[in-house]
Chains A and B, each alone.
Chain A
């Protein structure tokens, strides 16, 4: 595949790893912010290629993982209504709420549909005028323009049976929260490439300066990750703390102005609760008052929700980079993708699920006695 295979080249990867070995002189802890980056790291076994000095910890950037339990229970309550067609991105279907997941609700007769884009949900609303179509608008700044576009189009077209349940979250406040924590170990960040495609990276400059951490905006292919790690370690070794862009083929400093304007015209900033992390001030988007007719939270009266989290699950600590998935006593035993206790085990982007899918529960045990695989 042109423009993708180039970024998965074994020889170039080896070159970057060698360069990294020459640059690094002491231990560093780096966090990749995005779930997509975590996915690439474990999918390609990148962390096993890195020198021992470089430790990668996994960030909070998995949107389905950080969506609060209250919001998921609310979604379930709405999806169960007979007049509703509930539309969602695919990986949300298996995220457990307090009691069940959307797959179970579907099997009990709820009309739950997987869409690739909120615009598809809009089409469903147009072809089902007697149903109320609700789209579960989750995600970071990356999905905000698409979701904003759906709301804006619905209003423009006078589509009265389309609404969104908004649980948008924002990256910079979460990074600041991680850095402020007394448990923080993170010394440098691989910044969120696709979030910055939309938002640009100006807003990361004050974070780098204030907390003295290098932030390298990084893409999602193996060579992107390796180059991002190399650039971050170079800064750390040199005592620098700047925002750099590893992903210029997509990201510009100012981002996508048209998308930002659209987002700002539909959403406004609000406080938001993150699953496993807690309330972070000014860390989310909600609909502006002029779009309240499209706000599912207001349209559907949902009873007071009593949520229950698993008492064993440490997903909160995993999402903040304090612990790794295999530090959890339930990892790979009581908690597996077939029976997840927390959201980080559900989405492919969740650190626990990524660790599990790519066999880290086996490898960590194995590693103590012998090297992995036979082709190293």
Chain B
């Protein structure tokens, strides 16, 4: 999308009947961020709502209203447990939407919050979540300006679910979206990957480490401002949440019709996370992040962007991890640590632990 001025709601409404997906019912894998999630979006949702803004398939939609460029995004949070090392569902809900807006290059302004509460949820826990949201919103510099609460029967939700939506202001000349990755561009990640997913798994599986792995949940708008201050023409930004950096990069490769070649040895991963992934039989390239971003930038912007990121507390361990290529369009390739090459494909569903 280069620039869209107006959208007429319903103009390009799909008319085909809903095609059947391979599964006759929703399975958990539909929520994994992998290929089956993509299928759900591509086959059931997109055909019905098709429009120029949605077709970009970015973390949020960017449009102009009376000359002001706005970004608009929404996200729902169902994490269990609701309190985990380094965060909680409330903080995550604020950061999630703030980050989706930031990935459009926007300065996040206003958020809404919708709560689905399970009957029996302790008031203390709910209050703790709300306080944490207040703090997170203050840190991110956004105001929560509208909201909703609903209560459902015990067992119909898991303590509480939160949806947040938000709008932000996109600066003039900033044009960030997944279709803009170009051969020759460099792929930069802002820090150590796979931390959030492992923090959650360690609680679920009862694994203890010498040093506790804390979720990396953080608002990325400050880091994005720092990046845009040194290089306005950033091509793509993405926060690699569910499905990890593989899903984020695969979506970019498909959207921009380019290939991406990663260098395994350059991908920053902490010792604790590496160890946990070995124990749990997981590949960190597919594990969720909540406070990291992937930036795709022109080669001449690499040095200033990297130094701006490293000068920000959330980007100290930023590293160049790959190059955009015109080979293998739509796919991620990786030079492995021992010098071989392989494809890094999006998973079809959840990453399932192997038997041995």
Contact = CB atoms under 8 A, between A and B. Distances in A.
Interface string B331-352: 1010111111111110111001
Q: Which of A222, A338, A358 has the most CB of B within 10 A?
A: A338
Nearest to B25: A107
B278 interface: yes
B80 to A, nearest CB: 14
B352 A91 contact: yes
Contacts of A63: 355-356
A143 B354 CA distance: 12
B132 interface: no
Contacts of B281: 90
B327 interface: yes
Give the contact-size bracket for chain B: 35 or more
A254 B65 CA distance: 76
B209 interface: no
A211 interface: no
B156 to A, nearest CB: 14
Contact of B325 (A107, A356, A374): A374
Contacts of A104: 23-25, 27
A374 B265 CA distance: 16
A348 interface: yes
A245 B89 CA distance: 50
A193 B201 CA distance: 28
B328 interface: yes
Nearest to B279: A116
Interface residues of A, number: 59
Contact of A358 (B39, B278, B345): B345
B356 A143 contact: yes
Contacts of B28: 103, 106-107
Interface of B: 22-29, 35-36, 39, 205, 261, 263, 265, 271, 274-275, 278, 280-281, 325, 327-328, 331, 333, 335-345, 347-349, 352-356
Interface of A: 1, 4, 8-10, 13-14, 36, 39, 42-46, 48-49, 63-64, 89-94, 103-104, 106-108, 114, 116, 138-140, 142-143, 194, 222-223, 336-339, 347-349, 356-360, 362-363, 366, 372-376
25 contacts: A10-B265, A10-B337, A44-B340, A45-B338, A45-B342, A48-B340, A49-B338, A89-B353, A90-B281, A93-B352, A104-B23, A104-B27, A106-B27, A107-B23, A107-B28, A114-B353, A140-B356, A194-B356, A339-B22, A349-B355, A357-B345, A359-B342, A372-B333, A375-B263, A376-B341
